[in-house]
Structure 1
Amino acid sequence: MNQNATEEQITTLLRQGLSNAAIVRELRCDKNRVSRIRRKHGIPNVPLQPLTLEEKWTTNTRPVDGGHLEWTGERKSISGTPAMRYREKPYTAAAIAFRIRHGRDPKGYAFAECGLHHCVAPDHVDDEPGRARTREQLRYLNGGRERKPYCPHGHDQAVHGRYQEDGRAYCEKCKRQRARSARQEVAS
């Protein structure tokens, strides 16, 4: 928390029309202090977001070559995932892109596999079941056969079966068990 943000800095941003939350994010200062300064100077609260979720999303995108959309808005700090808040609720930009295209929220993670890192073009974004269908179709197009119902270790592939980007099948449960074993070996 930045205790060095001056009242003048806060007042300047308030007069520019920023919300309390935006000022807290920008100056990393106490939200109660921003509220007190707003009241002290008689500056009214920012009206609620007049845009729909999709309209706000659109204001944070920019077209790039190849039909891709680049995200110009905020990002999650650690992963760099394009994200935004709408009416105090967090969303990923890819989840909104999926919703724009399909009219429903994604199942699992939504992201694009078009080659542009963090592309948010609605036509490029898919959810987990959609990616699984596409990868399975790719498997067949590349001459692959239908996935067996159980992996060599007996895991049900209807539950644990996944496909890599190139269509190759694998067992997610086996993959997690191998990773766990590798971590345990490193720890000991």
Structure 2
Amino acid sequence: MKIRADIAALLRAGMPESHIAAQLHVSPRTVRATRRALGLPAPKRGGAPVTYASVEDAFRANTAPVDGGHVRWTGYTDSVSGLPVLCYRGRRQTAPRVAFTSHHGREPVGKVRRTCEYEGCIAGAHLADRLIREANQRADAAYPGIFGGLPADHDESTQGT
């Protein structure tokens, strides 16, 4: 049997088989067969949930690094909102907010949004809150007065919109 690395990683992290099947859009049979092929024990009913020493540990256990400094979420994704969700000590938080707080050392103000092109990236350095976005807008507005001309990343196709 060919073992899918994403299923194996989530099984080893202790994610329930049903959550893995739903998140990765695979059959529960595929998840079960992978668990057996890896020699992992059958899940215990009503067992204690996986616990982590810190919210950062819980975050790292549910992510995978990607080339270019990006980070991909491998943990639970809410089926209604589609957001990556982290549960730590009974508190549900979105993974991007956890990544932002961990990286920037403060709680985000407003919505957390990606600043890179990698779909779903949750690397803390690739996230911005309202304060960062507003500061970037002020810097972009000041650029011509300081350096003359347009910023290097200026896209003339967006003029007049």
TM-score by length of 2: 0.57
**CA displacement 1:150-188 (0-9 Å, x = unmatched):** xxxxxxxxxxxxxxx97x9xxxxxxxxxxxxxxxxxxxx
Pair 1:47–1:81, CA change in 2 (3 A):
closer
Shift of 1:48: 6.7
Q: Secondary structure at the match of 1:123?
A: helix
Structure 2 CA distance for aligned equivalents of residues 23 and 48 of structure 1: 14
Q: Is the 8 A contact 1:110 1:126 kept in 2?
A: yes
Pick one of 74, 84, 87 that aligns with 2:86. 84
1:1-188 map, 5 Å: 45-46=47-48, 49-141=51-143
TM-score by length of 1: 0.50
Structure showing greater relative contact order (alpha-carbon pairs closer than 8 Å, 6 or more residues apart): 2
**CA displacement 1:92-144 (0-9 Å, x = unmatched):** 1110111111222111111222111221111111211111111221233366x
**CA displacement 1:42-96 (0-9 Å, x = unmatched):** x884167233111010011111121111111111223422222112211111101
Shift of 1:26: 7.9
Identity level (%):
32
Structure 2 CA distance for aligned equivalents of residues 120 and 113 of structure 1: 10
Structure 1, unaligned stretches of length 5 or more? 1-17, 28-42, 144-164, 169-188
Pair 1:133–1:86, CA change in 2 (3 A):
same
Structure 2 CA distance for aligned equivalents of residues 95 and 23 of structure 1: 26
Radius of gyration: which is bigger? 1
Which portions of structure 1, spanning 4 or more consecutive aligned residues, are displaced by more than 4 angstroms? 22-27
Structure 2 CA distance for aligned equivalents of residues 47 and 77 of structure 1: 20
Q: Is the 8 A contact 1:60 1:71 kept in 2?
A: yes
Q: Secondary structure at the match of 1:95?
A: helix
Structure 2 CA distance for aligned equivalents of residues 23 and 65 of structure 1: 28
Aligned residue-pair number: 115
Pair 1:59–1:131, CA change in 2 (3 A):
same
Structure 2, unaligned stretches of length 5 or more? 1-13, 22-44, 146-153
Pair 1:136–1:90, CA change in 2 (3 A):
same
